[in-house]
Amino acid sequence: DQQVKQNSPSLSVQEGRISILNCDYTNSMFDYFLWYKKYPAEGPTFLISISSIKDKNEDGRFTVFLNKSAKHLSLHIVPSQPGDSAVYFCAAGGNYQLIWGAGTKLIIKP
């Protein structure tokens, strides 16, 4: 039961370029979406979130776009920096439980 899917296990981007991480979901009842970033041997850290009443949320170099009709969201990082190399998880849900995607490993090349 993959309610939240991140279809790209990995993504390689040149430093300074835009990184675009994608996430698809199946449950139209999700009303809040979050992106977490995870470095090896560390717990996930919150990055940015978006409510279903919005289609865009921006925080510095990070922007999340939500397309409810397509049940798709994306995370844009611009410009990409070496410290952005990590695994990015998309999560969605309500109340106490988050449903997580499998993650996308982002590699920023110098």
Residue 21: CB atoms within 10 A of its CB come to 22
- Residue 60 sits in the site that holds another protein (CB under 8 A): no
The stretch near another protein (CB under 8 A) out of 11-19, 41-49, 66-74, 76-84 is: 41-49
Side chain identity at 76, as an amino acid letter?
A: H
- Residue 10 sits in the site that holds another protein (CB under 8 A): no
Cis peptide bond prior to 82, omega within 30° of 0:
no
Neighbouring C-alpha atoms within 13 Å toward the C-beta of 106: 28
Using CB under 8 A, which residues numbered 69 to 88 contact another protein? Answer: none
Footprint of another protein on this chain (CB under 8 A)?
Answer: 32, 34, 41-46, 49, 51, 89, 91, 93-103
